[in-house]
Amino acid sequence: MAALEEMVSRVESLVAAKDWASLAALDEEVRQCVDEAVADAERLGQERVRAGVERLQALYNEAREASEKERDEAAEALRSNNRTQKAAQAYLDNQ
């Protein structure tokens, strides 16, 4: 159970830091940890394992939503920049 709790802590830290690359790199390790905890749930305590897995799911949902928001904000910034460049070019073309 300590491994699952440690994994939850690591994922929480990465989500808080918005370190999406490190979170993605940790993905396989998270899957293995969850698989091992679920397989050993009888000994570890089903409710504790369930709580840990649910917490990881909530963290991944939070990370997905935050990264999608950042992606959308970056896309809007690029569109705004393109509009500004086109306006500047139109101005220069009419001089």
Asked whether residue 85 is domain-assigned, the answer is no
User: Tens digit of pLDDT for each residue in 18-67?
Assistant: 999 999 999 999 999 999 999 988 888 899 999 999 999 999 999 999 99
Asked whether residue 84 is domain-assigned, the answer is no
The rounded Cα 3 to chain-centroid distance in angstroms is 20
Q: Count how many Cα atoms sit within 13 Å of the Cα of residue 61 in the half-sphere of its side chain.
A: 6
Asked whether residue 50 is domain-assigned, the answer is yes
Residue 26, domain extent: 2-67
Taking the C-alpha atoms of residue 59 and residue 67, their distance in angstroms, rounded to an integer, is 12
18: left (phi over 0), alpha (psi -120 to 50) or beta: left
Asked whether residue 12 is domain-assigned, the answer is yes
Task: Let me know: does 39 contact 49? Beta carbons within 8 Å.
Answer: no
Asked whether residue 19 is domain-assigned, the answer is yes
Asked whether residue 23 is domain-assigned, the answer is yes
Asked whether residue 40 is domain-assigned, the answer is yes
Asked whether residue 9 is domain-assigned, the answer is yes
pLDDT on residue 94: 86
Domain count, the chain: 1
The pLDDT of residue 95 is above 90:
no
